Structure 1
Amino acid sequence: MITLNNLSIAHGTKTIMQGISTTLASGQVHVIIGPNGTGKSTLLRSLFADLPLQSGHIGWQEKTLGAGRHRSRVIQQWRQAIAYMPQDTGLDVSLSVLEIVVLGGLETLTLHIDPNLLAEAMNCLHAAGIAPLAHRDVGSLSGGQRQMVLFAQVLMRNARMMLLDEPVSALDLHHQIAMLDLVREQTRERDLVTVVVLHDLNLACQYADNLLVFSQGTLQATGAPQAIITPELLSHTYGVTLEIVYDNGGLPMIQPLSRHHPLMINIPLRKEA
């Protein structure tokens, strides 16, 4: 379990997030949603110790990450069991897909690669559904394929925490479902703390065990999607009008309403003759 205690995070002199307190249980997928610029990626970077805390602290595995900058040794120890997949899928290297994934399992660079490590990397590629790409140059891949490669590298880390920042943004619907199914399976099987940033609200409600709704740098609500998602909450968060229906499993399905939707048009009353 990860404990966030009254976190505030800043870029330079600008405070991006403040007053964030919650717990993130292991064995669950925690999905962060909210408008652009509200601090979703900032929070993931702080969990990875890539961005210092302005105040508060994070507790995990009997370790504490507090405010201020830390020495490289502290950061290295904190990150040992974390697999982080940022938004940027740019891989400006001349390596094969298999080589990229193998790097996820190396603690230090070496000229000799254990055959067992290569076999494990191939298993990760099979799990991600991209084994046929193993010997392709990563620079020749599409954005969606690169996302799948980076996710296979995440699997290769054998981490205790997964941090995934918009991991399905470049994927088609089939591969979105395939990746998020795998994220949930791995989280359950390995008892991981998994934190995912998603923009698609329906995917968020489908896959989140715990949903964290952020707006203007503060945590507006947290809990199971069916327990916290309301038209009022999302209208306040995103500044749009929407309606919510529920699937057979009781999960909310969100439909934004355009300005031209019949429910949004004021029809004047007909005058009596």
Structure 2
Amino acid sequence: NQPCPSATACVLRDGKPTCLATCKDDIQCQVEGNFPRTCVERTNLTKGLVKVCLDSTKAAPIGAECGADLDCESGKCTLIATGGCKVGGSSCLTDAQCGSNGPCVADKSKEKGICTLPCAPDAACPSNSICVPGAGGALVGTCQAACQGPGDAANCIAPGTECIFGQPIAAGGFASPSSYACAPRPKGSPGANCMVLKDCQSQDCTTNAKGTAGYCSAARGSGKPPCPFGTKCINTGLAFCERMCLNDFDCPLEMACKTSGAPGVKTCQIK
């Protein structure tokens, strides 16, 4: 929280606030050792434009924090927070993200975005990002940061997102392998944690044998939307969205990651 020294400016670099030397042209940025440095335009933390010296013109990758489109390799900075929850102050964009700690109170100092990019079967994502389907399983999605597994908060910085194992949108006509990606899983939606039926929008909660933990599963059929990212439609007489998994860590307590009724797909099931 300390101010930057004189002749420097605070800008986002790889998603992190960094003090960098200000400049007018590339010549002012040269240092001993012949390291290539250039004078590039970036946004400072008050959204103003400033020229600073960078050792690369490369901007922030998908999933990194940004202040404006100019900060991102993708050229797209999506607003993810406009304030803080009334109780606790955690970053938020909507009242729903705060739950009982709401409402979401506007606060310019908490305003931030992340680098994103639209994606589709004919428009693949950059490396280290995953094409996550949009609401309703549309064939147009958003490139989201790849992540390591449950609880990976370092990569999943957007409020309301978590590291989820799911099926990305296929790229170039080829099936994409299931992967971990930072994606939203709204409370009560298919795949979200639950304990009782009323926790789920669908009124379907699949729990462990003791009924102490589970996830929302939703019936699927004619006229119903596709299962969202992180779930798979499994038909064993009745079709339901089941939570996908790589291992037991992706599942609620005392549930197991087992082979499902779909080839090559594992889902969270009763042990």
Classify the TM-score, shorter chain.
Answer: under 0.3
**Structure with greater helix share of residues:** 1
What is the TM-score of this pair, normalised by structure 2?
Answer: 0.27
What is the TM-score of this pair, normalised by structure 1?
Answer: 0.27
